[in-house]
């Protein structure tokens, strides 16, 4: 019986290593994510900046178009009566 344990114990340990390594890595990664301060990567920061510029230019274009429509409306008031 001791001989069987002596043979299979190292084999069992070798078989557990591929299971334990990812388990430990996932646990350590989760702990790092939990306690480390989160800061965006440079790619995420660039994407957020581009989205902000797009939103700002879209809002500017909308306001400009609204102003133009108001201006056109002022100039065409007299034409509606004719």
Q: What confidence tens digit (pLDDT) does each residue in 45-54 have?
A: 899 999 999 9
- How far are the Cα atoms of 46, 48, 69 from residue 41, in angstroms, in the given order? 9, 11, 42
At residue 76 the predicted structure's pLDDT band, cuts being 50, 70 and 90, is low
> Three-state SS for 33?
helix
Q: What percent of the chain has pLDDT over 90?
A: 40
d(C-alpha 50, C-alpha 40), whole Å: 14
Give me the half-sphere count of Cα atoms (radius 13 Å) on the Cβ side of residue 63.
Answer: 6
Q: What is the pLDDT of residue 81?
A: 53
The residue that leads in pLDDT, 63 or 78, is 63
Q: Is the pLDDT of residue 79 over 80?
A: no
CA angle 23, 26, 29 (to 5 degrees): 150
Cα–Cα distance for residue pair 53/77, rounded to 1 Å: 36
Provide, rounded to the nearest whole percent, the portion of the chain with pLDDT above 70.
Answer: 89
């Amino acid at each position: 019986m001791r001989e069987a344990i002596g043979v299979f114990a190292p084999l069992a340990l070798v078989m557990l290593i591929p299971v334990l390594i990812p388990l430990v890595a996932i646990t350590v990664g989760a702990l790092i994510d939990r306690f480390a301060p989160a800061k965006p990567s440079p790619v995420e920061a660039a994407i957020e900046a581009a989205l902000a510029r797009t939103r700002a230019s879209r809002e500017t274009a909308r306001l400009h178009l609204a102003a133009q429509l108001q201006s056109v409306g002022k100039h065409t008031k007299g034409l509606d009566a004719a």
